[in-house]
């Protein structure tokens, strides 16, 4: 456990947290706004809605598949450089999407290039950088703030983008988003988490291949990955299908929009709370409670009458549990596998989240098309939640597998 931080370091810690949180907020908010372009772009370009949706689904898969690769690069050259590359790729992707005159090129820029950009400048790399740069007692708070910032970015940026589309048109709005993405480049400057130079007489540094083999051979890695699969399945299912489910219950359209907004707003509270608890309490038990609470909540929601009140109450409580899995999952990765290759290993765990996300979005649509109802998908989600709780209970939550790496960058120097 790291000792108290000297007074002179407090400004550096505040700057690190602020830049990490704002970067995560911009990355998540700008990415979540892409769905707003479906109607105006398909109308203007004559594309099918399914073609547009496939491009965004491809982005999710590319994000998950490339996350470990960008994580490996961040572990080797530092998160700052990787986030800057990701921001640049995001600009290229958005400009390409704005000027695409065919669905093929739109799919390339929105699915492949944007998927790589989201991986490089997204939450896993930011969280890994903050975890390495800060002492252990502040890591849970940092990941909680970063996760909350992502949700607040979604809550704040998406309405602004919608306003821009209605006022200036979809193409101008997309180019403005591209310009805003450039802000992530200077925000990444303090996130300089390059490995410190070897100290004479210090133990040899663990190689990436050794660390990966150690993680992949550890049951805790797979338990965490399955839990994150469940989390991704829940998040994507509700993000994509909750408005449609609300409409199928013959409730006003505004209720569906309000439900998604409430989830994002209450997730700020849930993520901050989970971040604090991850620094003060057993992370394993916290994950068990979160997944089990999701199962109880969704099971209860499935059985009650669907009214405006019940939908909004469900959404607010679900928001508290939405991404609150991230801080304890990052903390368990750091404690079990160390921080040197954290972006790589957490990137592999995050791949499970994205595969779950693809599954939730796709399976929800398949079940509804075949049955005309989402009831079976809700039941699958309830069973998966308790499965996530069970596997989380099997995770090891003891001391770190190797000696904690000494803080580096500005915090260590101060």
pLDDT attached to residue 143: 73
At residue 129, does pLDDT exceed 90?
no
Query: What kind of architecture, by CATH, is found in domain 1-193?
Result: Up-down Bundle (1.20)
63 versus 291: the higher-pLDDT residue is 291
Q: Give pLDDT tens digits for 315-358.
A: 999 999 988 898 899 888 888 888 778 878 888 898 898 888 88
- For residue 327, count CB atoms less than 10 angstroms from its CB and return exposed for 0-12, middle for 13-18, buried for 19 or more: buried
The full set of domain ranges for the chain reads 1-193, 210-407
**pLDDT higher than 60, residue 283:** yes
When pLDDT is averaged across residues 380-397 and rounded to a whole number, the result is: 94
How many CA atoms are closer than 13 Å to the CA of 22, on its beta-carbon side?
18
Q: Residue 230: what pLDDT?
A: 96
Kindly report which listed range (41-45, 55-59, 282-286, 377-381) carries the lowest average pLDDT score.
55-59
Lowest mean pLDDT across 125-139, 199-213, 315-329, 382-396: 199-213
The CA–CA distances, whole Å, from 228 to 175, 330, 356, 387, 397 equal 33, 11, 8, 11, 17
Give me the pLDDT at residue 8, please: 36
Length of the chain, please?
414
Query: In whole angstroms, what is the distance from residue 407 CA to residue 138 CA?
Result: 12
> Average pLDDT for residues 82-93, to the nearest whole number?
94
> What's the pLDDT at 42?
82
For 250: left if phi > 0, alpha if psi spans -120 to 50, otherwise beta; the answer is: left
Q: 10 Å Cβ neighbour count for 372?
A: 9
- Position with higher pLDDT, 313 vs 269: 313
Per-residue pLDDT tens over the stretch 253-282: 678 767 877 888 898 888 888 888 887 778
d(Cα 298, Cα 384) in Å, to the nearest integer? 11
Q: Say if residue 204's pLDDT is above 70.
A: no
DSSP code string of 259-320: HHHHHHHHHHHHHHHHHHHHHHS-HHHHHHHHHHHHHHHHHHHHHS---HHHHHHHHHHHHH
Q: What is the mean pLDDT of the chain?
A: 81
Residues 6+ positions from 116 with CB-CB distance below 8 Å: 62, 63, 66, 70, 86, 89
Fold observed for domain 210-407 = Growth Hormone; Chain: A; (1.20.1250)
Cβ atoms of 312 and 413 within 8 Å: the answer is no
Confidence of residue 49 (pLDDT cuts 50, 70, 90): low
Average pLDDT for 366-371: 83
Question: Is there a shared CATH topology between the 1-193 domain and the 210-407 domain?
Answer: yes
**Is the pLDDT score of 406 beyond 60?**
no
Report DSSP letters for 348-402, one per residue. HHHHHHHHHHHHHHHHHHHHHHHHSSSHHHHHHHHHHHHHHHHHHHTS--SS-SS
Instruction: Give the range among 54-63, 176-185, 327-336, 384-393 with minimum mean pLDDT.
Output: 54-63
The whole-number pLDDT of residue 413 equals 38
Q: pLDDT-based confidence at 197, cuts 50/70/90? A: very low
Confidence (pLDDT) at 122 = 80
Task: Summarize the confidence of residues 282-294 as an average pLDDT.
Answer: 93
pLDDT of residue 268: 83
pTM, rounded to two decimals: 0.71
Terminal Cα-to-Cα distance of the chain (whole angstroms): 18
The pLDDT, as a whole number, for residue 181 is: 92
């Amino acid at each position: 456990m790291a000792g108290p931080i000297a007074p002179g370091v407090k400004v550096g810690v505040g700057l690190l947290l602020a830049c990490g949180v704002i970067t995560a907020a911009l990355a998540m908010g700008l990415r979540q706004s892409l769905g707003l372009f479906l109607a105006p772009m398909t109308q203007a370009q004559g594309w099918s809605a399914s073609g547009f949706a496939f491009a965004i689904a491809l982005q999710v898969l590319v994000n998950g598949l490339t996350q470990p690769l960008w994580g490996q690069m961040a572990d080797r050259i530092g998160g700052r450089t990787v986030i800057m590359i990701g921001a640049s790729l995001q600009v290229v992707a958005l400009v390409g999407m704005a000027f695409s005159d065919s669905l093929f090129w739109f799919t390339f820029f929105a699915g492949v290039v944007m998927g790589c950009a989201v991986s490089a400048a997204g939450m896993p790399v930011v969280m890994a950088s903050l975890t390495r740069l800060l002492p252990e007692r502040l890591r849970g708070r940092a990941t909680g703030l970063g996760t909350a910032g992502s949700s607040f970015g979604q809550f704040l940026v998406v309405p602004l983008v919608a306003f821009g589309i209605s006022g200036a048109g979809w193409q101008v709005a997309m180019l403005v988003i591209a310009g805003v993405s450039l802000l992530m480049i200077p925000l990444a400057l303090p996130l300089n988490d390059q490995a410190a130079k070897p100290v004479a007489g210090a133990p040899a540094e663990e190689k990436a291949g050794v660390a990966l083999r150690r993680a992949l051979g550890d049951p805790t890695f797979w338990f965490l990955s399955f839990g994150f699969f469940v989390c991704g399945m829940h998040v994507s299912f509700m993000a994509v299908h909750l408005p449609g489910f609300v409409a199928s219950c013959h409730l006003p359209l505004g209720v569906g929009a309000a439900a998604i907004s409430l989830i994002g707003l209450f997730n700020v509270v849930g993520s901050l709370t989970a971040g604090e608890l991850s620094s003060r309490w057993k992370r394993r038990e916290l994950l068990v409670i979160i997944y089990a609470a999701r199962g109880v909540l969704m099971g209860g929601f499935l059985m009650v009458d669907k009214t405006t009140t019940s939908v909004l109450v469900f959404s607010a409580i679900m928001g508290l549990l939405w991404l609150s899995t991230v801080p304890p999952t990052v903390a368990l990765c750091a404690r079990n596998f160390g921080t040197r290759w954290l972006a790589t290993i957490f990137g592999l765990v995050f791949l499970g989240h994205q595969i779950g996300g693809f599954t939730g979005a796709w399976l929800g649509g398949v079940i509804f098309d075949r049955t005309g109802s989402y009831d079976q998908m809700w039941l699958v989600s309830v069973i998966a939640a308790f499965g996530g709780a069970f596997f989380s209970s099997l995770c090891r939550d003891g001391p770190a597998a190797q000696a904690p790496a000494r803080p580096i960058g500005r915090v260590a120097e101060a």
